[in-house]
Chain A
Amino acid sequence: MTKIGLEIHCQLTNLQSKLFCSCKANYREFSPNTNICPICVGLPGSLPMLNQKAVEKATMISMALNCKTPEKIAFFRKNYFYPDLPKNFQITQFDAYGPTSIGHDGKITIEGKEIRIRRIQIEEDPGRLIYEGTSEKTQIPLVDYNRAGTPLVEIVTEPDFDNPKQVRVFLNILVDLLENLGVSDPTLEGALRADGNVSVEGGNKIEIKNVASFHDLEKAIHFEITRQQSLVERNIPIISETRQWDDRRKITISARKKEEEQDYRYFLEGDIPWVKLNSDHFKKLREKMPESIASKRERYVEKYGITNQVADVLSSDKYYADLFEQSHDEKNAKEIANIITTDLMGFVDTREKRETSKLTHQHLTELVNSIMDNKITRNSAKTALQEMVSTGKSLIEIISEQDLDYVSDESTISSIINEVLNEEANAVQEVKEKPETVNFLVGKVMKKSKGKADPSMTLNILKKKLGIT
């Protein structure tokens, strides 16, 4: 039986500062080695100052993944030499004296399958190595410490996945969950990273490291299963080892023996006293915790009669869910949900578009209420929505500028219909024979009115004029 486990690293990108100093947690906009201080580059004499907000966010993740949380947590040093690690040890958590990490023994259910969470721990991200130069021989490694000390939460699962598809589903759900908690922005490069471990029947556990994206992880796991199975078929023993994902060749390659035999000499970090997590801490956080995706979905369906599919899309994307929550009331909820999941989705489907969008929840409320009050057609609404996203103008402005106001005046519609009937003699003939084709003519009228004509009034007048029912 194939067994797959995951180690996910999630940067707490929504925090202001790093885990142990006041440098920015969002290091991405800085030129190399400018988001640093004596603490995060480990200058002699500097000491870590624990960011309490990071403990809060990590506790929320732990609670959301149904983990048990200890009464007090401790930090440990993981000792190893690497150029991106300024102190040559990483401050992390470790369960040497019973559970002292921020969470343990959690679970999450995906498609009816329970995935157990072994441990959740808070730790610091190292810096980054950047290779400059064209060929392998001329490459110069450069170190950028801007990322060093960024708060990370590591989530370790039990080997409960049977196949790469389950991994993908799990990761999708996890990404939504982390975003919904407001702890991390998964669209930022490197904010979420995952390593995997794979074993097949008759084999040993193989760890896969150096995987840049979740997408690649699925591929890497796939490759490993196939590789290990073919070894088993040929009776070649599988030795437990760490393998690196080679992004260029899309294969895994054996890491050097030295690395896997590393002894990290874990011991307590004396510079950070044990942190007590009293019941107040949990109570406060429970109040602060945003509603879970599942609970939102259920509420949307039950309270507003929104369809399952729409509720699913709406609840799992924090951006849409937040817009919905701010713009809806009992009457317009269903229509707002529909506008978001049909029309708006096309306009704000990437991070960049969302960032530049000028749409506010007031826009949405106004727009949907105008549709419901028959002041604007669904068609014109879509045009107006696009304009709101790109310019942020109000509905009234857009209607007057683009001549989008609704036409429900019988004589105006009637005269447009007459024009259409004159132009479309063949279609008129066809409708008289097959009344169900009348929608073609409705469409023509809508087009001529630039989408402003009241569709039901148009239909009624058309039917009357053509003598069909």
Chain B
Amino acid sequence: MSGHQSWFDLNLGISALKYIEEIKNGNLTAEEFISKTIERIQKVDSKLHAYLSINEQAVEQAKSIDKKIKAKENVGACMGMPISIKDNICVKGTKTTCASKMLEDFIAPYDATVVSKLKAEDTIIIGKTNLDEFAMGFTTEFSAYGPSKNPWNTEYVPGGSSGGSAAAVSALECIASLGSDTGGSVRNPASFCSVVGLKPTYGLISRYGLISYSNSIEQIGPITRTVEDTAFLLNIIAGMDPHDNTTIDNQNENYLNDIDSGVEGKKIGIIKEMTHEGVDKQVSAATNKAISNFEGLGATFEEISLDMVAYSVAAYYIITATEAGSNLARYDNLRYGYDFDSEGYEFNSYLSKARKNFGPEVTRRMILGGFVPSAGHAGKYFLKAMKVKSKLTAQVNEALKKVDMLIAPTVPILPFRFGEKIDDPVALFLVDINTVTANLTEKPAISIPFEISGGLPIGIQLLGKSMQDKMLLQAAYALQNTVKLPEVPI
């Protein structure tokens, strides 16, 4: 691209890498882009409700970054690009509500590690995005502040729990977003909103500042419009963190280098249990097309059966409920939370009254979490779930000895309308079945936007070996370049 872009044809749909190029070339200023982004949010977010709060200082911050650029001072790699953050990740001095009434007035006194890393690279945190309360759900319908809408069709759910993040990226309300993925919460909405979503290897990204739901399996993950942008963000936010004992040293891997290495000679396993039963025919057709596109690039395929997948969703709900029951116990409204007069209560009555501010899904999972690991029931539920987790891990590890990565649709069904599945346990099973395996086995998995079918997005998922997130990104990049998707209608 050459020549100066005018204010009017400024394209909010550019990638992070393009944004940096334009800023460097002097074709664009951070202030222009941020102002335009805020205009866009003001225009579309009343329909989408992707955001829970907006950074009021964003334009000022952009101006000061422009000043640094103009003065040729050191500027961070993000050069003022607007990135949104899921509202269960702490940003210092801003409300971090987890979309819960329980944390209605909680202002985080510190930055999550990912946020301080982004800020150090001159990112502008444009706002905090909507989610299912405490990240429990897959539609954002459980947000205490109302659901987000799918930019491709506002009568449809955006997926979840990072639905606000995916909708915001998809609808050009920011360049990228950070979500969190406990059982598919990055990949599911990425698939439903036709954007890229990565759940990295467990331990690759620090969880410090991510408000725990099920801490032993969840990870923060980037949501972007291109695979390269995910690689770019991963370069910034991945790596060891002294604040998180579970982080792994990634040797400063550069995920963007050689992203175009292709899939020639790569062996890919098709997960049998995720590609047949219950899969919508459009999703099935898209998956087959993705496989044939990959074959065209020199990859080979074989079908692989992972029979423990049948038990994965049950195990997932037991483990997450157990950990949530413990992680959310701290919300007793004694130290922070929301406005509540304690006069006339003793400790136990205060506690049960204060904790009534949790929404229905959180309450359900807390009750479950009090039961499944309790003495007398742990053997039947929690310990059995842990057994499924370790057997599933062994099966996936075994499979990944034979092949380089695994493939399946991210979600076996198409996006659906609001209220359609919220009380349907079978639908619940189908929504989670393809994504929870990566969390239970600590493996990296990515959702790549692949098709728009009848106006509704379909994403393809790749699942790779531990700490081989780079190989996964290379394959995702190759697949992305086999398709040209329409622009978001909103």
Contacts and interface: CB of A to CB of B under 8 A. Distances in A.
Interface string A51-87: 0000000000000000000000000010101010011
A211 B297 CA distance: 73
Given A45-B112, A88-B329, A270 B242 contact: no
Interface string A38-56: 1001111111111000000
Nearest to A87: B330
Contact of A88 (B322, B332, B370): B332
B330 A45 contact: no
For B109, B330, B332, the residue with the greatest tally of chain A CB atoms inside 10 Å of its CB is B330
> What is the predominant secondary structure among interface residues of chain B facing chain A?
loop
Given A88-B332, A271-B215, A44 B245 contact: no
B245 A88 contact: no
Interface stretch (B170-178, B189-197, B203-211, B410-418): B203-211
Contacts of A270: 215-216, 246, 323
B347 interface: yes
A47 B244 contact: yes
Nearest to A78: B326
Contact of B334 (A47, A143, A268, A273): A143
B113 to A, nearest CB: 10
A171 interface: no
B343 to A, nearest CB: 12
Nearest to B337: A44
Contact of B329 (A81, A268, A271): A81
Contacts of A265: 322, 325-326, 370, 373-375, 378
B373 A271 contact: no
B382 interface: yes
B208 A45 contact: yes
A263 B210 CA distance: 28
A272 interface: yes
A89 interface: yes
A81 B109 contact: no
Contacts of B378: 265
B96 interface: yes
A240 B246 CA distance: 41
A319 interface: no
B89 interface: yes
B458 interface: no
Interface string B52-96: 000000000000000000000000000000000000011000001
A47 B113 CA distance: 11
B335 interface: yes
Contacts, number: 93
A267 interface: yes
Interface string A221-240: 00000000000000000000
> What is the predominant secondary structure among interface residues of chain A facing chain B?
loop
B215 A49 contact: no
Contacts of A89: 326, 329
A201 B245 CA distance: 49
B336 interface: yes
B89 A45 contact: yes
A43 B336 contact: yes
A83 B347 contact: yes
Given A87-B329, A89-B329, A265-B326, A50 B245 contact: yes
A77 B324 CA distance: 12
B245 A48 contact: yes
Interface string B346-390: 011001000000000000000000100111001000100000000
B309 interface: no
Contact of B211 (A44, A88, A266, A273): A44
A42 B336 CA distance: 11
Nearest to B103: A44
B147 to A, nearest CB: 23
A86 B216 CA distance: 20
B90 A45 contact: yes
A41 B106 CA distance: 14
A83 B245 contact: no
A256 to B, nearest CB: 11
A331 B459 CA distance: 86
A84 to B, nearest CB: 10
B136 interface: no
Contacts of A47: 207-208, 212, 215, 243-245
A272 B326 contact: no
B148 to A, nearest CB: 22
A268 B214 CA distance: 12
B249 to A, nearest CB: 13
Contacts of B243: 47, 49
Contacts of A268: 216
A46 to B, nearest CB: 7
Given A47-B207, A267-B373, A41 B335 contact: yes
16 contacts: A42-B330, A43-B109, A44-B96, A44-B212, A47-B207, A48-B245, A49-B242, A79-B326, A81-B351, A88-B329, A89-B326, A143-B334, A265-B375, A265-B378, A270-B323, A271-B245
Given A43-B335, A265-B374, 14 more contacts: A44-B98, A44-B103, A44-B106, A45-B90, A45-B112, A45-B208, A45-B212, A77-B326, A89-B326, A266-B373, A267-B322, A267-B323, A268-B216, A271-B215
